[in-house]
Amino acid sequence: MSAISLSSLHASRSDADAVLSININHGAVNEMGSEQLKDWERVTEHLSSGGARALITSSDKVTRSGKSVFIAGANVTERVGWTDAQVKAHVRWQRTALAALRRVPVFHVTIVDGLALGWGTEFMLTADYRIATRGARFSLPETGIGIVPGAGGTSELSRVVGPNQALRLGMTGERIDGEEALRIGLVDELFDTADAAHQRATALAEMAARRSPTAVGAFKQGVLASLAMGEADRTELEARTYELCVDAGEAAIGRANFKAITGGEAVEWGPQRVLKS
């Protein structure tokens, strides 16, 4: 597994070097701007080229007043003096960067402890599994300042929580807590403490990292791509992802090591191969 160099995000690896953890801790409240977008693009490129087998994203940012923060929004300050065209181009860049991170061929689990406002709630949509603490708070305040959530909150949130809850959050800006986020499906699990959330995220990431990287990536690609397909196309895509695992030799490795795998032993999988469009 290769190393990754980031300018504003903080990367670390598991002992086995297979799980990449990104700690978001910069600026006053983890505001997301151009520097961070470049880093997320580096993370996407790194993971897409086999740099790790699972991803955990979280934040240990605490404000001077003692509040925990995940991501409290976009970096609006850097936009002072920008033209309308520059703002629109930047937000399209945000949208593209997060969409690419959503598709990385590894299992991505995110942990939210504290404030996830605007961009913070939108960033969660890039994850395959979302874990929160009871101290987490979520909202989409954009319509209150004359814009809409532009990094996936308008186009993708309803796929996660349904149209009614998405309309509620986006049109009212209501701030909800971890229990309500769990109830509506915005998060998948809820824990009392950040430590407990991290333990669960690490366990899930390590389980995914032990599996065939080709099979894990192909499964994710098949699931996400099938959301917009009819039945015939969905089943054909499933066939292609299965056959990729056979052609890559991963199915043969699984058969040859079936007893060891079911007994909990780690095996040596081949390099990751990705299904071509």
Q: Using an 8 Å Cβ cutoff, are 56 and 20 in contact?
A: yes
Q: How many domains does the chain have?
A: 2
Q: Rounded CA gap, 243 and 119, in Å?
A: 38
Mean pLDDT, to the nearest integer, of 227-237? 83
Q: By residue range, what is the domain housing residue 44?
A: 10-208
pLDDT digits (tens, 9 = 90+) for 6-49: 999 999 987 677 999 999 999 999 999 999 999 999 999 999 99
pLDDT band at 97 (very low <50, low <70, confident <90, very high): very high
End position of a domain, from candidates 208, 233, 248: 208
What is the identity of the amino acid at 12? S
pLDDT band at 54 (very low <50, low <70, confident <90, very high): very high
Query: Are both 101 and 231 inside the same structural domain?
Result: no
Query: Are both 171 and 238 inside the same structural domain?
Result: no
End position of a domain, from candidates 208, 225, 247: 208
Reading the block at residue 116, the tokens are: 């996830």
> What rounded mean pLDDT belongs to the chain?
92
Output the pLDDT for position 276: 82
225-242 burial: b if 16+ Cβ within 10 Å, else e: bbeeeeeeebeebeeebe
Output the pLDDT for position 263: 86
Query: Are both 223 and 189 inside the same structural domain?
Result: no
Query: Are both 202 and 225 inside the same structural domain?
Result: no
Query: Are both 204 and 226 inside the same structural domain?
Result: no
Q: Using an 8 Å Cβ cutoff, are 248 and 214 in contact?
A: yes
Q: Is residue 269 part of a domain?
A: no
Query: Are both 115 and 152 inside the same structural domain?
Result: yes
Q: Rounded CA gap, 264 and 197, in Å?
A: 24
Q: Is residue 191 part of a domain?
A: yes
Query: Are both 195 and 244 inside the same structural domain?
Result: no
Question: Of 114, 78, 118, nearest to 98 (Cα)?
Answer: 118
Cα torsion 41, 44, 46, 49: sign: negative
Q: Is residue 198 part of a domain?
A: yes
Query: Are both 132 and 180 inside the same structural domain?
Result: yes
* Ramachandran angles phi, psi of 248, nearest 5°: -80, -10
Q: Using an 8 Å Cβ cutoff, are 104 and 84 in contact?
A: no
Q: Is residue 236 part of a domain?
A: yes
Query: Are both 199 and 223 inside the same structural domain?
Result: no
CATH number of domain containing 134: 3.90.226.10
Q: Is residue 277 part of a domain?
A: no
List residues bridging with 131 in a β-sheet.
Answer: 111, 189
Query: Are both 149 and 220 inside the same structural domain?
Result: no
Q: How far is CA 100 from CA 54, 133, 159, 215, in A?
A: 16, 27, 17, 19
230 pLDDT more than 90: no
Residues 6+ away with beta carbon under 8 Å from 225: 237
Output the pLDDT for position 15: 64
| DSSP string computed for the chain | ------SSSEEEE-TTS-EEEEE---TTT--B-HHHHHHHHHHHHHHHTTS-SEEEEE--EE-TTS-EEEE--B--GGGTT--HHHHHHHHHHHHHHHHHHHT-SSEEEEEE-SEEETHHHHHHTT-SEEEEETT-EEE--GGGGT---TTTTTTTHHHHH-HHHHHHHHHH---EEHHHHHHHTS-SEEESSHHHHHHHHHHHHHHHHTS-HHHHHHHHHHHHHHTTS-HHHHHHHHHHHHHHHHHTTHHHHHHHTHHHHHTT-------------
Q: Is residue 270 part of a domain?
A: no
Query: Are both 14 and 44 inside the same structural domain?
Result: yes
Q: Is residue 267 part of a domain?
A: no
Q: Is residue 273 part of a domain?
A: no
End position of a domain, from candidates 208, 230, 252: 208
274 pLDDT more than 70: yes
Question: Of 20, 27, 102, nearest to 58 (Cα)?
Answer: 20
Query: Are both 99 and 192 inside the same structural domain?
Result: yes
pTM: 0.91
